[in-house]
Structure 1
Amino acid sequence: HKFGEYFPGTGDLRDIGAGRGKYYAVNFPLRDGIDDDTYETIFKPVMTKVIETYQPNAIVLQCGADSLTGDRLGCFNLTLKGHGKCVEFIKSLNLPLLLLGGGGYTIRNVARAWTNETAIALSQEISNELPYNDYFEYYGPDFKLNISPSNMPNQNSSEYLDKIKIKLFDNLRMLPHVPGVQMQ
């Protein structure tokens, strides 16, 4: 999650909830340029700890495509490969999964991401070659499913990420009990 001085202004590590909900919100503020390999080093351990803490019976995963490289408003450098590994990891937990699309401002890459993530959810292999259709010209210049990372520098040092991860894990340890909702 990119934290910054723009709407809605959320995502800071200190955004942990309030009142009876204190420590129930989890945010991992990222700096510009995070790439697939770096993202994977935080996604898996953080989500593992969140799953251990919350013990969910189901997961809703929103896949915001504004984290993809080249997004008009985004500032990350993720590819479909990195996005897909996150979906694969959550799917591997074998919990009921509701997969949702999310933001993204370079529409051709949003369509690519949602196509790729739907295929992963369905355990289907799909071609990198895009089929010809009425919108084919929008997917140039390469007309492929996958996108390549840019040369954007990754401003997320391992020291920074480790510091955030330690604080986030400390916050999770502060939960008085496993969160849950009773249905009546």
Structure 2
Amino acid sequence: MARPMGPRFKVARRLGVNVFNHPKALKRGAKKLGKQSDYGKQLMEKQKLKAYYGMLEKQFKLYVDQALSSKGNPGERLVQRLECRLDNIVYRLGFGSTLRQSRQIVVHGHILVNGKKVDIPSYKVEVGDIISLKEKSRKNEMHKENFYGQEMSLNYLEKDLESFSGKLVYIPNRDEIPIEVTDSYIIELYSK
């Protein structure tokens, strides 16, 4: 499985946004960018979105192509589709403290979707799907700490503390998704 393995904090400083949700990511400060061309702005937004969801170009392009061929606003569709990936939902529910850790939890087979083991990080979570931690994995202190320690502030997800599970209640609107990206720039870049 291909995934970005480079220095995370360097990427966050270059983009000027804490895309990895780590308290020390922008400790040394963001890079000051001079005047950017339209292409530069579009490229920067694409790089930000890829960094938020930990993706490489080839897979990201597939998501963009799906968004461009779907009905409705392609920028909004792209972000919604990325937000409904299994590794991201696992991260948002608090099974992992970072997206990388959540992806590893999925790949190692600790996650059940509707009672069946799913170890594919890009699995598309549908509305009503119940994501839970395997019975064996619930004994792990790290999983407990992450799950109970993280407050749930997203309306489109429902968290059940007793059964170590969560659920996608509805497909989120663009303004509910907690990322700082101008998605229209990304669509303009790929529409050329």
Length-normalised TM-score, structure 1: 0.30
Greater relative contact order (Cα < 8 A, sep 6+) = 1
What is the TM-score when the length of structure 2 is the normalising length?
0.29
**Larger helix proportion, structure 1 or 2?**
2
